[in-house]
Amino acid sequence: MSRPLGTFASLSPLLRLLVLTQLAFNIGFFAVLPFLAEHLGTAIGMAGWLVGLVLGLRTFSQQGLFVVGGALTDRYGVRPVVLAGCVLRIAGFGWLGYARATWSVVAAVLLIGFAAALFSPAVESEVARQAVCREEAGEGPRTHVLALFTVAGQAGAFVGPLIGALLLAVDFRAVCLAGAGVFVLVLAGHARLLPQHIPGRARVRARGGLRRLVRHRGFLALCCAYGAYLLAYNQLYQLMPVEVERAAGSQAPLAWLFALSSLLVVTAQLPLTRWAGDRLDLRRSMVAGLLTISAGCAVVAAARPAGWTGTAGLLPVAGYVLLLTLGQMLVAPAARAWVPDLAEDGRLGLYTGALSSASGLIVLTGSATIGALLDTTLPPAVPWLVLAALPLTAAALLPCSSRARAGAKPRS
């Protein structure tokens, strides 16, 4: 059952729907995002620091506001939050396709991000809860379900940029409208198929969960580690396009580099998760992933002073993509599997959202800083050296214990 299709077939109908939801979300999203930085810098003429800030705002309005979507999910349930997020994402992509002024671009990007801040924590928290329930029923480790969820997301991240690259031959507006069209289909499908009430999921009405969350040192350390990973991952859209443009003279190789990352996750995520589950606890899996991500950034930093171009210039970037993806495959399922053991009963949506909110704040400040470094006279390796140092620091902050409790009570 290590193959994706075998694992998928063993899931409940609800889990299958949620996994397919992640696939569809990422097809629509990644049809647009990989080409946004170039559009902002070339077509609209934004400075490097402003492009970095806009990309950081997009991430923060998404990741940073996950805590809102998570709390709303705990309060109102999965279905209304997912449907509302789809409507906002359709509006945001449509707006971005026509936006030219800086304020209009920023507003559209914020709307796109907030849409995901609604539907993503709703879907992710329910997948995690269902994975714990499945584990307790003796149907397999929770990490296998969460790894399959990652595979579905990366499959969408593979298909999305290819669609976007084809439509970019028309213009960026066509790319945005195609992304909106995908979410129209998602909205229609979920309006019909997503249950009004999911058995076992209690709605929480009491307040006070956020106060206890911000005092939870172990959870905050997990947020820092996850944020360091996301900042490095965000460079697929910020630093990597700059390197590709410098080395190849165009953005054409970007689609192939994204395809490399996605294909690696689709083919290797479940076997790697099974291998790590037999040998590593959640903490060690995250540390190994963060060290691998750091190595990927260091590869580009070491090669950048040589100033290679052509195929040779693309090899360090390909190494970064490869090592980043391997690190992601260790970090992402482990972090999601760890959250149910740290969350309060009935607050899994809040904690799932807060994980992304805190890491989104890290990405916001980090992206603006990286963008500012690009506009200075410092050596071009400096941003990559900074990125290599952050995962190392975050790994040292992780809690010492991360045992996934096989008999843990599922979080509603």
Answer yes or no: is pLDDT of 402 > 60: no
3-state secondary structure of 141: coil
Report whether 121 contacts 64 (CB < 8 A).
no
- The residue ranking higher by pLDDT, 407 or 252, is 252
Mean pLDDT confidence for 146-166:
84
**Which residues make Cβ contacts (< 8 Å) with residue 277, sequence separation at least 6?**
141, 143, 144
- The pLDDT confidence band at residue 2, using thresholds 50, 70 and 90, is very low
Answer yes or no: is pLDDT of 323 > 50: yes
Answer yes or no: is pLDDT of 404 > 80: no
Could you tell me which of 276, 295, 283 has the C-alpha nearest to residue 225? 283
Q: What pLDDT score does 408 carry?
A: 38
**Which residues make Cβ contacts (< 8 Å) with residue 91, sequence separation at least 6?**
111, 115
Q: What pLDDT score does 405 carry?
A: 38
DSSP secondary structure of 374-403: HTSSS-TTHHHHHHHHHHHHHHHHS-S---
**Which residues make Cβ contacts (< 8 Å) with residue 143, sequence separation at least 6?**
131, 273, 276, 277, 333, 334, 337, 404
Q: What pLDDT score does 292 carry?
A: 97
- The pLDDT confidence band at residue 202, using thresholds 50, 70 and 90, is low
Return mean pLDDT, the chain. Answer: 84
User: What tokens appear for 329 in the block?
Assistant: 């495959």
Q: How far apart are CA 258 and CA 321, in angstroms?
A: 8
Q: What pLDDT score does 1 carry?
A: 41
Number of Cβ within 10 Å of residue 86's Cβ equals 26
Number of Cβ within 10 Å of residue 101's Cβ equals 9
Q: How far apart are CA 147 and CA 19, in angstroms?
A: 10
User: What tokens appear for 158 in the block?
Assistant: 């593979």
Report whether 43 contacts 102 (CB < 8 A).
no
Q: What pLDDT score does 39 carry?
A: 80
Answer yes or no: is pLDDT of 403 > 70: no
Mean pLDDT confidence for 227-237:
89
pLDDT tens digit sequence for 351-375: 888 888 888 788 878 888 888 888 7
Q: What pLDDT score does 197 carry?
A: 75
Q: What pLDDT score does 406 carry?
A: 31
Judged by average pLDDT, the poorest of 209-218, 265-274, 347-356 is 209-218
Mean pLDDT confidence for 7-29:
85
pLDDT tens digit sequence for 69-95: 888 888 888 889 999 999 999 999 999
Mean pLDDT confidence for 284-298:
95
- Burial class of 9 by CB neighbour count within 10 A (0 to 12, 13 to 18, 19+): exposed
pLDDT tens digit sequence for 44-58: 777 777 887 887 777
